[in-house]
């Protein structure tokens, strides 16, 4: 019985979400559930006891079990990312808020500061408030994270978790992200079409999107028989990137001094990094894009300010639509799956 009743609990939690979405209240009888799950009524009773302890159902003597009035009543969706105030694509949050609001959900944003401690603080709030779903842009998703156990507990408690822009997620979480490896390859090919031969890069080393983009960059160099120079590849941590963005451009300045000799293009992790690299290079007298072409990802407002660098983003609105659709389906107990977002074939 030990393993069986846990399976029934997990399945019934999804069924209860569906019932809430469809306005149903009464659960099947113990006998019907025992037949459905091919188990004894004692095993069903144990599962129902767990659901009652969680506050998801109420048992009425002689009348059966019913969905509790307060079960899954929270219509908030949490969005957890490194820095909401300096989010590189604020339009994504705005679009997502609008799409979720149409179905009666409210989006709440939380910043982790890019730290394990900050992420733990937000996750504790998730456990206390029990939102309809959690969208997470995780902290340093390439290294073992002590918060993963908490995230697994959150998923096991019936709260859907959607990983956004991450290719690495705990079991049970849904992943929605662009194909970053292919994206970087597309940028290299585009630069090669423009006649660029010595292409450098700046990527995150503690983030799965950075690793995938770096691998796509290497794949394309090999495919096109372009030279690779490890000294032209700058691999940043979150701390390095944050220092760069708040005015401590020591790392970028040192890197700029290297790439001004013999490099004709640089692919950056995102538009923020590209914009700051461009500023440093311009101060050094480099003409952008005549001397060095800068390319990056996100197609954000940084690249639409007449900045002078090219940027590639996902298809317009695709990420917000996929996130909203998945959140709503998961919160209502319907089946969801991982989604790969296509890249747009246009560059800013």
What does the pLDDT look like over 213-229, one tens digit per residue? 999 999 999 999 999 99
CATH number for the domain including 91? Answer: 3.40.50.2300
For the CA atoms of the chain, what is the radius of gyration? Answer: 24
Q: What tokens appear for 197 in the block? A: 């031969």
Q: Is the residue at 347 inside a domain?
A: no
**Are residue 302 and residue 217 in the same domain, yes or no?**
yes
Count CB atoms within 10 A of the CB of residue 7.
13
**Are residue 42 and residue 109 in the same domain, yes or no?**
no
Instruction: Note the pLDDT of residue 137.
Output: 92
Q: Is the residue at 174 inside a domain?
A: yes
What distance in Å separates the CA atoms of residue 180 and residue 146, rounded to the nearest whole number?
A: 26
**Are residue 139 and residue 236 in the same domain, yes or no?**
no
Instruction: Note the pLDDT of residue 164.
Output: 94
**Are residue 127 and residue 232 in the same domain, yes or no?**
no
Instruction: Note the pLDDT of residue 243.
Output: 59
**Are residue 80 and residue 9 in the same domain, yes or no?**
no
Number of domains in the chain: 3
What distance in Å separates the CA atoms of residue 242 and residue 296, rounded to the nearest whole number?
A: 17
Q: 3-class DSSP state for residue 312?
A: strand
> Which parts of the chain have pLDDT scores under 70?
1-2, 70, 241-248, 304-307, 346-348
Instruction: Note the pLDDT of residue 245.
Output: 53
E strands, 68-183, in order: 76-81, 106-111, 133-136, 161-164, 174-178
Instruction: Kindly report whether the peptide bond that precedes residue 289 is cis, defined as omega within 30 degrees of 0.
Output: yes
**Are residue 303 and residue 322 in the same domain, yes or no?**
no
Question: Which residue, 37, 67, 97, sits at the end of a domain?
Answer: 67
**Are residue 196 and residue 281 in the same domain, yes or no?**
yes
Residue from 215, 132, 133, 202 nearest 167 by CA = 215
Instruction: Note the pLDDT of residue 132.
Output: 92
Instruction: Note the pLDDT of residue 272.
Output: 87
Instruction: Note the pLDDT of residue 119.
Output: 95
Q: Is the residue at 134 inside a domain?
A: yes
Q: Is the residue at 211 inside a domain?
A: yes
Q: Is the residue at 346 inside a domain?
A: no
The CA distances from residue 210 to 9, 27, 217, 250, 297, in Å, are 38, 47, 10, 21, 11
Residues 6+ apart with CB under 8 A from 19: 25, 27, 67, 333
Q: Which domain holds residue 18?
A: 2-67
The answer to whether the CB of 333 falls within 8 A of the CB of 134 is: no
Q: Is the residue at 200 inside a domain?
A: yes
Instruction: Note the pLDDT of residue 149.
Output: 93
Question: Which residue, 15, 41, 67, sits at the end of a domain?
Answer: 67
User: Whats the size of the chain, residue-wise?
Assistant: 348
Instruction: Note the pLDDT of residue 265.
Output: 97
Q: Is the residue at 321 inside a domain?
A: yes
**Are residue 222 and residue 307 in the same domain, yes or no?**
yes
Question: Which residue, 67, 89, 104, sits at the end of a domain?
Answer: 67
**Are residue 161 and residue 220 in the same domain, yes or no?**
no
Q: Which residues of 92-124 are buried (b: 16+ CB within 10 A; e: fewer)?
A: bbebbbebbeeeebebebbbbebeeebbbebbe
**Are residue 252 and residue 104 in the same domain, yes or no?**
no
CATH number for the domain including 9? Answer: 1.10.10.10
Residues 6+ apart with CB under 8 A from 53: none
Q: Is the residue at 230 inside a domain?
A: yes
Q: What tokens appear for 160 in the block? A: 């859907």
Instruction: Note the pLDDT of residue 241.
Output: 65
DSSP string, 134-145: EEE--SSTTS--
**Are residue 97 and residue 169 in the same domain, yes or no?**
yes
Instruction: Note the pLDDT of residue 78.
Output: 97
**Are residue 132 and residue 247 in the same domain, yes or no?**
no
């Amino acid at each position: 019985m030990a393993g069986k009743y846990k399976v029934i609990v997990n399945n019934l939690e999804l069924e209860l979400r569906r019932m809430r979405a469809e306005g149903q209240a009464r659960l099947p009888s113990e006998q019907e559930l025992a037949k459905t799950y091919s188990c004894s009524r004692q095993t069903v009773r144990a599962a129902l006891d767990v659901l009652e302890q969680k506050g998801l159902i109420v048992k009425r003597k002689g009348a059966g079990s019913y969905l509790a009035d307060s079960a899954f009543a929270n219509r908030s969706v949490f969005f957890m990312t490194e820095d909401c105030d300096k989010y590189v694509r604020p339009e994504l949050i705005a679009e997502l808020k609008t799409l979720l609001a149409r179905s009666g959900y409210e989006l709440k944003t939380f910043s982790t500061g890019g730290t394990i401690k900050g992420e733990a603080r937000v996750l504790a709030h998730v456990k206390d408030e029990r939102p309809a779903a959690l969208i997470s842009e995780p902290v340093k998703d390439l290294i073992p994270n002590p918060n993963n156990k908490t995230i697994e507990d959150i998923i096991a408690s019936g709260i859907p978790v959607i990983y956004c822009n991450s290719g690495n997620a705990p079991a049970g979480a849904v992943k929605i992200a662009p194909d970053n490896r292919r994206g970087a390859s597309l940028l290299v090919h585009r630069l090669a079409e423009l006649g660029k031969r010595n292409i450098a890069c700046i990527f995150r080393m503690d983030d799965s999107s950075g690793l995938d983009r770096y691998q796509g960059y290497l794949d394309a160099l090999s495919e096109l028989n372009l030279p690779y120079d490890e000294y032209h590849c700058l691999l940043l941590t979150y701390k390095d990137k944050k220092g760069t963005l708040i005015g401590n451009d020591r790392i970028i300045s040192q890197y700029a001094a290297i790439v001004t000799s013999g490099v004709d293009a640089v692919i950056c992790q995102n538009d923020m990094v590209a914009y700051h690299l461009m500023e440093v290079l311009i101060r050094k007298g480099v003409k952008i894009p005549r001397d060095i072409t800068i390319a990056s990802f996100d197609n954000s407002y940084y690249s639409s300010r007449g900045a002078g660098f090219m940027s590639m983003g996902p298809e317009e609105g695709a990420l917000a639509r996929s996130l909203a659709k998945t959140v709503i389906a998961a919160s209502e107990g319907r089946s969801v799956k991982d989604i790969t977002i296509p890249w747009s074939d246009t560059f800013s």
